[in-house]
Amino acid sequence: METLRRLDDTSGVAVIEGDQQTSFDAQRIRETGAPAVQINTGKGCHLDAHMVGHAVATLEPPQDCLLLIENVGNLVCPADFDLGERRRVVILSVTEGEDKPLKYPQIFRSADLLVLNKADLLPHLQFDIERCLDFARQVNPGLHTLTLSAQTGEGMEAWLDWLGE
């Protein structure tokens, strides 16, 4: 939500939100002014191109808009499905542990950007950023990285700049 709040204009943004159940996230997204469609997968653990195609038809986003697709939130299933995205971002909360790039390499291998999220919690955790980034680069040597905290604003400008590119 913080990303949408910080964008100067949400009229050029549309969001496809994937979850197994509920429409809570899509409702919160629409409250920012950005159009959003919720896809519920039930027992499914990922979105697929067919689902996204239907969501795009429902949204009818302008040709030049930024279309954000949030896949179902896990590090396994979404990695293997091409949704037609131009760029892929994997978001790793620092609360999950620095070993995730080696435990779930495919999602990190397929990503253009790794966002280490919830950086404001680092003082309360035993999380080694450099070790995590080393693991991620073992899997994907060209992976770009950002450290982010929506709570404090750390890294938000770099994140918005990356999206703007």
Q: Which pLDDT value is given to residue 75?
A: 85
pLDDT reported for residue 77: 87
Give the pLDDT of residue 63: 87
| pTM for this prediction | 0.92
Q: Which two tokens stand for residue 140?
A: 């994907």
Task: Give residue-wise pLDDT tens across range 8-41.
Answer: 777 799 999 999 999 999 999 999 999 999 999 9
pLDDT of residue 162: 96
pLDDT tens track for 89-103: 999 999 999 999 999
Which residues of the chain fall below pLDDT 50?
A: none
Q: Which residue ranges form the domains of the chain, and what is each CATH number?
A: 1-73 (3.40.50.300), 87-165 (3.40.50.300)
- HEC secondary structure over the chain: CHHHHHCCCHHHEEEEEEECCCCHHHHHHHHCCCCEEEEECCCCCCCCHHHHHHHHHHHCCCCCCEEEEECCCCCCHHHHCCCCCCCCEEEEEHHHCCCHHHHCHHHHHCCCEEEEECHHHHHHCCCCHHHHHHHHHHHCCCCEEEECCCCCCCCHHHHHHHHHC
pLDDT of residue 149: 97
Q: What pLDDT does 78 receive?
A: 85
